[in-house]
Structure 1
Amino acid sequence: MAYRDIVGSFWYLHDQAFLKFSRVIQLPHYGVHRYDPDISEAFDLFSKLWKMQKEYRWLLEQNGLERWEIGQIAFRIGQLYVGQYLKNGDTKNLFEAYLSYKAIMDHGYLLDTSINLEIHFLVHFFLLCLMLGRHEMVHLIAAEIKDLYNGFLEEEPMEWKQSFKEIERFHEVDRSFMNMRPLRYSFAFDPHPNSIPNLASGGKERAPILHVAIILGYHPNEVKFGEITLDSLRMLQCLEWEPCGEFAETTRGEGIQGGNSSPNLLQDIRDMSLPPNPQKLIFYRPSITLFLMVITTAWNELPSDKVLLIYLSAGGEGELSLVPSNSRPSSESCGRIMHSFSNIEISYTATSTNKSPVKSSSQRDCSKLQSEPCLWLGPHESEGSNFLYPSDLIPFTRRSLFLVIDSKSSYAFKAIHGAEKGKTTAMLLSPTSQPPTIADSAGHDCCQNGSQFTMFLTAPVQAFCILTGHSMADISKDTFNTAEELLSLSLIEWGTVLLASPELDEVWIDVLRDPLLWRLLLRFIFCRAVLALFKPTNHEEEFLPTCLPQLPESVLPQSEVSQSSLKPIASLFEATDHFDFK
């Protein structure tokens, strides 16, 4: 092939690859298999493009190919890998993206180009490092972005202002997790699945059953970056496996080296030593319509023997508040549909003592509002289209659901229990009031450091330290590791007691089959025990999380196993006096 033909073929392939990328990057992440041919074609085009620039680099550079254009190809490849991760949950896709991004930074492919492009790349790299838990790189990239932003300020001060503020807030929170264990299920800290108590008592073998997790963030003013909030990021990582063994070692040395080796496009990149990760669908403040459409799509693709997890983090405050009703019956039209919700109603809370609430169209059609609790998810002065009703989720109970609701109105979802259409729904519900901490009797600021309930489920040792007034910066890594070992032993003990109980509901037996859900449920038991025995809560129910179906009495906070499990951890942090032990 003549040199001129080579150059022409390269740029034609370049245009085709970038055109396909612009289409693929806009595809929704739900509906996993619908767009597989387009994604495969995009990977194929970029694989050929990368191979061609590697083989004819000298010729292409002589004919106008610049280093930033090579970096842009690697950047697009990394973005494709991130997209694949969002579709299949495989963390090695994140590692492949990391290696591409790291090579771009190490070799300065995007230096001496527009500041816009460089900041755009670094913002993506920052988010990727947050998802991987690469704390040192997070701080390095944050510093580089700050330097670029300061130089960019005089030209266009508003263009990156919001992103930079979000990065600063996330960076500040991330500092306290520098020396902590990974949030993913790690064999270095969590029990190996083979060491988890045998589930033969339930008549079922241990097997991953969590298929997909829908993660939704609605908390106002929460620390976030792009479309990922702090709580959503923690939950995302909590529902994954930490790469280990041979895979963890080999990925450190692979990747793009100065543009002379090819990224592993279209290869089997799974870590075969680990079970597959569930797919995660992450959304920040989606509309109710989109929310229900995503659930419907995931539900339709859910195998009959798998579980769909929905994590919902919301403030629960606004113009609507939930109050119990002693006698008010539901309307005739709603009574036949929502009889189980007839003892709860919605009341409007006036924002001014001088004005009564103005009735909207949703109030005039208020039979549903009067008979059913709901969670307010929309903007102020919005109507029913921004309310999430427990009954909205009931059609999906024909298959296995696992709900984690972190909201001050979480108790509204208790109405689902007993109204399921097929399978019993497993629910973990947050306290309705933020429990006080030793450091701040007014309560921990969930907006600045994330929700306390979510932190107990995803980083329980850190949550315990914050609750008892410890600064994580003052606690050594060895102390944290010891606490993690104690907690791991406690979780195994709680799991053993649960399985030995004849009162354990079948839905929890199914949950305990999956190591990721096993850990989530047992951390909930730890959270409930800590908050129930914590003296400042004074045993008040508003500060305690709940779960449905109810767990056996043998794992209640007052039980011997719960107190004996909590005492060593409290003693390690010299916090025994803060708890009401027998």
Structure 2
Amino acid sequence: MRYYARFIIVCLLLNKDENVRQLISELEGLIEEYTKSFKPPDAKEWQMVLEEISTFTEAEKKLVPINLDRTPDKIEHRLSANIPERNIGSVCKLKLQEAILVGNYQKQIKFSELTLDMYRMLQSLEREPYVLHPSTTTKNTKSNDTNANESIAGSVKEEQSTTVATKSTGTNLGANTNPSNKRSNPHKYLLYRPSLSQLMVYISTAFKDTSDGSALLLYLSADGCAYPDQTVPGYGGGVVTNQRNKITTNADRATAANPSSNTAAGSATTSSVNVVPATAVSTTVAAASNNASSTAGSNVVASSTNAAAATTSAEPTVTTPSVHCLHPADLVPFTRKPLFLIVDSNNSTEFKNMPNVFDQPVMCLMSPIEYPSSVQDKSEIGSLFTLFLHTPLLGFCSVSDIGNLDQQKWDACVQKIAIMEKAIGDLLITDATVDKNVKRFMSDDFLYYFIVRFVLCGIFLRYHSSFKDERSFPSSFPSLPDSVYVSSEIVTMLGDLTAIADVGTYFSLPSYATTTGTTNIAITSTATIINPGSNASSINVAAPTVNVAPTPVNTNPISTSPTSIVTPMEIA
């Protein structure tokens, strides 16, 4: 059953949806047989594993409109392997080299230690494997071999990638053999509910590995923390990290009493690093042993005690910053190299004035801090802001309550979103008022689409009838010109999109944006253009909806590590 659970994760990362559906069905049968035959003490834990994957796949399925034949539409999730070059001008280009994806929400949809929002960002940072098209028949055999290697390797970068535990020798496995294709996927760390000390270690490691002319992406999905009376610059709030200052479960106590088990878990995680890149992900699974967590917990206790003492002696008008909070000032040392920050939190705007003291490119995309009551909660479909960055069309369907859409209209919507993205990108590149550092980030394909989709999200929400408060709109630092949000060209395209999907009542658009909808429907409904910046997967796994809280540390039968996705474990 543990092998089944791990293989489900592998299939999720590779978008093998048919395999996921089959594996879930077989795992359900195995768990039922296991429970009836042995009546084991961990039966509830295995039921929770089944509920988690069911909730995970159901959350994805809820967003996908259904065709007339009752089948889900096919969704494009990954970037195309062939994206045309953009003329950014005279600015120095950047390349996204390292990415850290953090899931620290107390309550979020997850399977094992892979949250739904982390999964979406992970897919958004992947490019479809490059496929060669030989011009002569004599090269067919060689090209087929090359394509097979690239499909396995996922067009993994050839540069040496470093993990905290060891050098990843699997990064070069089956590396792209086409010399003309210089684009590659960034190296990634997945951190599920890390403590502050763990998070800082991984940020430091990724920062060290980021070379000249490259950028580091930090994605934070976490609850916010704020201090209304705080006056210390840079420490007025931020996002919460995980607290491990005490042992709360029997499994924790048993693991702490037997440190040797931590070594085995760590070794297993290190070996799995070489497996993940070979499955077209090039992802480093960030794992931390319970022994290290216990040590970090002891330090946290001491820090908390010192902080409490400092609070007592400090001025009554100043609140002592939390030792479990990542503050904007904590990231200032890492702005010595280009840093691209995405904060999805109810206190995201705390990062809007992060100082740039080293004159390096720094940009922060911040989620809305409040959503209207009509918008679905993240416990049902994940974060709306992350969804827009992942696949804007699904975000549009979510806020417009689109549940049924025939294939012809769906294809027309896909094309219209692609045209809108290109128009937004062109406006940002040609606008002289846009910060030059923003344009530098736009020279990278992945960051380009994040910025464009961020603007697209802002346009959708600003013209949506339910979104009226500024707190419900995304924001950025440095800020982007308002002209891009009110561009008549883009707003007219939005009117066309609402007409195609027949959801015009959800949006309050200017009169000029609603007059050409009928004509554009006839034009776009027959188009077959696929969004080059959209991403590739068919989400069609049907499963019962069960919303569950994240599994407590060391109770998941799949893993003992708080930040590991595929670490094996022997059940006590």
Per the shorter chain, which TM-score range? 0.5 to 0.7
In 2 relative to 1, CA 227–274 (structure 1 residues): closer, same or farther, beyond 3 Å? Answer: farther
1:313-328 matched pairs, under 5 angstroms: 313-316=221-224, 321-323=226-228
- SS of equivalent to 2:189: strand
Question: Does 1:217 pair with 2:103?
Answer: yes
Name the aligned partner's letter for residue 73 of structure 2.
Answer: N
How far residue 128 of structure 1 moved from its aligned partner, in angstroms, is 0.9
Name the aligned partner's letter for residue 484 of structure 1.
Answer: V
1:235-274 matched pairs, under 5 angstroms: 235-246=121-132, 250-251=147-148, 268-270=174-176, 272=178, 273=181
Give the conservation status (yes or no) of the 8 Å contact 1:212–1:278.
yes
Question: Does 1:452 pair with 2:358?
Answer: no
The structure in which a higher percent of residues are helix is: 1
Give the conservation status (yes or no) of the 8 Å contact 1:427–1:548.
yes
Q: What is the CA–CA distance in structure 1 between the aligned matches of 2:400 and 2:109, rounded to whole Å?
A: 22
Equivalent position to 1:430, from 367, 378, 383: 367
- SS of equivalent to 1:403: strand
CA RMSD of superposed structures (Å): 3.0
How far residue 370 of structure 1 moved from its aligned partner, in angstroms, is 6.8
Name the aligned partner's letter for residue 216 of structure 1.
Answer: V
Question: Does 1:295 pair with 2:227?
Answer: no
Unmatched tracts of structure 2, length 5 or more: 65-71, 133-142, 153-169, 239-303, 511-572
- SS of equivalent to 1:307: strand
Out of 149-158 and 393-402, give the one that drifted further. Answer: 149-158
- SS of equivalent to 2:466: helix
Name the aligned partner's letter for residue 365 of structure 1.
Answer: A
Q: What is the CA–CA distance in structure 1 between the aligned matches of 2:421 and 2:16, rounded to whole Å?
A: 27
Equivalent position to 2:482, from 553, 561, 566: 553
How far residue 579 of structure 1 moved from its aligned partner, in angstroms, is 1.4
Give the conservation status (yes or no) of the 8 Å contact 2:237–2:327.
no
Give the conservation status (yes or no) of the 8 Å contact 2:150–2:175.
no
Equivalent position to 1:542, from 471, 484, 487: 471
Q: What is the CA–CA distance in structure 1 between the aligned matches of 2:481 and 2:101, rounded to whole Å?
A: 28
Equivalent position to 1:404, from 324, 337, 342: 342
Q: What is the CA–CA distance in structure 2 between the aligned matches of 1:167 and 1:450, rounded to whole Å?
A: 14
Q: How many corresponding residue pairs? A: 401
How far residue 265 of structure 1 moved from its aligned partner, in angstroms, is 12
Q: What is the CA–CA distance in structure 2 between the aligned matches of 1:492 and 1:449, rounded to whole Å?
A: 27
Q: What is the CA–CA distance in structure 2 between the aligned matches of 1:236 and 1:393, rounded to whole Å?
A: 22
Equivalent position to 1:566, from 486, 494, 511: 494
Q: What is the CA–CA distance in structure 2 between the aligned matches of 1:501 and 1:477, rounded to whole Å?
A: 36
1:443-482 matched pairs, under 5 angstroms: 443-471=375-403, 474-482=404-412
Equivalent position to 1:198, from 59, 79, 87: 87
- SS of equivalent to 1:433: coil
Q: What is the CA–CA distance in structure 2 between the aligned matches of 1:507 and 1:419, rounded to whole Å?
A: 11
Q: Who is 1:180 aligned against?
A: 74
1:92-491 matched pairs, under 5 angstroms: 119-154=1-36, 155=38, 156=40, 157-158=43-44, 160-176=46-62, 177=64, 179-186=73-80, 192-194=82-84, 197-200=86-89, 202-204=90-92, 209-246=95-132, 250-251=147-148, 268-270=174-176, 272=178, 273=181, 275-316=183-224, 321-323=226-228, 330=231, 338=233, 344=236, 362-366=307-311, 384-416=322-354, 418-436=355-373, 441=374, 443-471=375-403, 474-491=404-421
- SS of equivalent to 1:530: helix
Q: Over residues 41-67 of structure 1, what are the superposed CA-to-partner deviations in whole Å (9 max), with x where a residue is unaligned?
A: xxxxxxxxxxxxxxxxxxxxxxxxxxx
Give the conservation status (yes or no) of the 8 Å contact 2:216–2:338.
yes
In 2 relative to 1, CA 159–574 (structure 1 residues): closer, same or farther, beyond 3 Å? Answer: closer
Q: What is the CA–CA distance in structure 1 between the aligned matches of 2:52 and 2:144, rounded to whole Å?
A: 30
Structure with the greater alpha carbon radius of gyration: 1
Q: What is the CA–CA distance in structure 1 between the aligned matches of 2:457 and 2:509, rounded to whole Å?
A: 15
Identity in percent? 25
Q: Who is 2:270 aligned against?
A: none
TM-score by length of 2: 0.65
TM-score by length of 1: 0.64
Name the aligned partner's letter for residue 74 of structure 2.
Answer: M
In 2 relative to 1, CA 223–370 (structure 1 residues): closer, same or farther, beyond 3 Å? Answer: farther
Q: Who is 1:531 aligned against?
A: 461
